[in-house]
Amino acid sequence: MKNVIELKHPLIEHKLSILRDKNTSTKEFRELIKEISMILCYEALNDAKLDPVTIETPIKKMKTHRMNEDQYAFIPILRAGLGMLDGVISVVPTAKVGHIGMYRDEKTFEPVNYFFKVPEGIEKREVILLDPMLATGGSAEDAIELLKSKGVGKIKFLCIIAAPEGLKRVTEKYPDVKIYTSCIDEKLNNNKYIVPGLGDAGDRIFGTK
């Protein structure tokens, strides 16, 4: 899985330890999701192309480089992916935003699509998909397929934690999609939840349980 980038950093491990704790409040959980998402976004944009520009500092004119933020689109997978949006938008404020709505069928454990809205010209942009959990990989797979059907050529996937099973499924089908995660966990349990995981990210972000 050469296209899987697991961030190894003491700061991330520290934040994850609080994020995973069942006693962490909704407020703190949201803040940590945002902070880790920012770090993931920095890493995902490591290969960003820069255009030459000339600016004037308070001292003198100089040649430097800037990124064309308009070439990017962030697309959270609803609803949990919304928790990551503030973090990545703070890194690239003028990026466009789309939404993909999915929920997991409790019997088949497969995703069901119910909403798809992306910016115009999506096929010309680099798309960064957002979902805190990459468990079975079903939602990620379906989201990538939807985007590819719209002509998107470059896709990256950002998640807070990932299961080996989901990583294997997505990377085998879409070897061109880079996946950035702050931690690869042990496995999925019989209910297809990530172990040790952090519980249901959507419920913990929105305080619905």
Residue 149 C-alpha from the chain's centroid: 20
pLDDT of the residue at 112: 77
pLDDT above 70 covers what percent of the chain?
A: 99
Q: What is 135-194 written as a DSSP string? A: SSSHHHHHHHHHHHHTT--EEEEEEEEE-HHHHHHHHHH-TTSEEEEEEE-SEE-TTS-E
Q: Render pLDDT for 116-164 as a digit per residue (tens, 0 to 9).
A: 899 999 999 999 999 999 999 999 999 999 999 999 999 999 999 999 9
The tokens for 80 are 């949990």
CATH of 4-47+70-206, one of 3.30.70.580, 3.30.465.10, 1.10.10.10, 3.40.50.2020: 3.40.50.2020
pLDDT of the residue at 1: 74
In contact, 30 and 208? CB cutoff 8 Å: no
Beta partners for 66? 51
| pLDDT at 114 > cutoff 90 | no
Domain edges within the chain? 4-47+70-206
Residue positions annotated with a catalytic role: 104, 108, 200, 203
Q: Render pLDDT for 67-105 as a digit per residue (tens, 0 to 9).
A: 988 899 999 998 899 999 999 999 999 999 999 997 767
